Amino acid sequence: MLNTLRLLVPTVQAIVEDDLYNISANWTTEDGLSKKHTLKVGYSYNDEELALLKGQRQEDGSFVYVSPKGRVHHCPVDKAMAYVKAQVDKQTAYQAWQGVQQVQVTTVDA
């Protein structure tokens, strides 16, 4: 009866690694062979903006920030350069708009 029960009820195992959770169910046959099913669930979080704004520039041009909780956030060099270029373009457009606004204000006669 114990062998029959072993065929129907699996051995369940749960292991927690860094950012990965493994839950396994193992069925063992009468011959001692096993059938193991494992579910792996993980969570990762990478904030490129946080890495760019608060991180340290690396030799390759990318940015890395390590949060107080120990999570490592990474912004690759191509995205960092695109962000800087977009900020420069926005600033240039704003200054051009501001110049147009000042010209309009000074030419109005009341």
pLDDT for the residue numbered 108: 52
- pLDDT band, very low/low/confident/very high, at 81 (cuts 50, 70, 90): very high
Residues in the chain: 110
pTM over 0.75? The answer is no
Q: Are 12 and 23 in contact (CB under 8 A)?
A: yes
> Which residues touch 18 (CB under 8 Å, ≥6 apart)?
none
Element (H, E) at 103: helix 77-107
